Amino acid sequence: MDKSKKILVIDPDAGIREEYLSLFNGEDYELEISAGFTKAMEKIKNVHFDCIIIDTHLPEILVYDAVPIIKTIYPEVEVIVTTAKNSRELETKVREQDIFYYYIKSFEMEELRLAVSDIFKKLGKIKEVKKMKQPPLILIVDNDPDFVKATRTILKTKSYKVEIAYDRNEAMEKIKHLKPDLILLDIMMKEIDDGFTICYDLKHDPELKNIPVFAISGITEKTGFKFSPKTDGEYFAADDYVEKPIEADDLLKRIEALLTK
């Protein structure tokens, strides 16, 4: 279970804190609790919370003074304010703050659970939008510095992010760490079969097998051995392959086709 969705509850009522723990038990959240604002601030300074559920009646501070302090530290955090004793004056002051939801404890707790769920739906959409705005990351795996330099320049004209690996070990480390959107792969590097091995390992890894591999090599010219992903079977399951050299326009068209496939 992914426990990356962090919630902090700030409430002086021990019974309510236990009810919240029970309410969110089994949910995909990491829940921390605090009885007061001072202790909560120590947590907030050391942990990035996505959602803070804070009661209006804290012993040290008024909630409409507490929310601006929280927002100064984490402007993007979503805040739910709760209260057991509501009044028109209190609600007006609370709703003037930058909060996501105002929950009155006499209402069904399902209402609070749904509000928290809505927060993480919103955060999920924001993350997806941010991801979509990021330019694709292309990893060039090639030990020819001249080819790397020229290819990198071509890719930069389309604003692609580019990373380089010059050998098999460096390539596999970067693939696992960066999870690029596409790999431009040479075949003959330190060892004649480095590209074959990288492609085979990649396409047999459940987490990495969907990364497109575009092999670009001069192996036929160097060895006289002509091959293709279409005819050489499972061992060389590259998604596309061309012989070096390749024209810039052809390179970019093939990359775009693989990224949108």
Instruction: Characterize the bridge pairing of strands 101-104 and 78-83.
Output: parallel
How crowded is residue 234: how many other Cβ atoms within 10 Å of its Cβ?
8
How crowded is residue 142: how many other Cβ atoms within 10 Å of its Cβ?
24
The residue ranges of every structural domain in the chain are 6-132, 137-259
The answer to whether 154 and 251 have CB atoms below 8 angstroms apart is yes
CB burial string 157-183: b at 16+ within 10 A, e below: eeebebbbbbebeebbebbeeeebbbb
Q: 139 pairs with which residues across the strands?
A: 163, 183
Distances (CA, A) of 171 to 140, 164, 194, 200: 9, 8, 10, 13
pLDDT of res. 231:
52
Tokens 């530290």 label which residue? Answer: 73
Q: Does domain 137-259 have CATH number 3.40.50.720?
A: no
Predicted TM-score of the model (pTM): 0.52
Assess whether the region 6-132 and the region 137-259 belong to the same CATH fold. Answer: yes
DSSP string for residues in the chain: -----EEEEE-S-HHHHHHHHHHTTTSS-EEEEESSHHHHHHHHHHS--SEEEEESB-SSSBHHHHHHHHHHH-TT-EEEEEESS--HHHHHHHHTSS-SEEEETTS-HHHHHHHHHHHHHHHHHHHHHHHHHSPPEEEEE-S-HHHHHHHHHHHHTTT-EEEEE-SHHHHHHHHHHH--SEEEE-S-SSSTTHHHHHHHHHHT-TTTTTS-EEEEE-HHHHH-----TTTSGGGG--SEEEESP--HHHHHHHHHHHHT-
Each residue's pLDDT, cut to its tens digit, for the chain (261 residues) gives 344 789 999 999 999 999 999 999 888 899 999 999 999 999 998 888 999 999 999 999 999 899 999 999 888 899 999 999 999 999 999 999 999 999 999 999 999 999 999 999 988 877 766 666 689 999 999 999 999 999 999 999 999 999 999 999 999 999 999 999 999 999 888 888 888 899 999 988 988 999 999 999 876 656 555 655 555 545 678 899 998 889 999 999 999 999 987
Which CATH number fits the domain 6-132, given the four candidates 3.40.50.2300, 3.20.20.80, 3.30.1370.60, 1.10.760.10? Answer: 3.40.50.2300
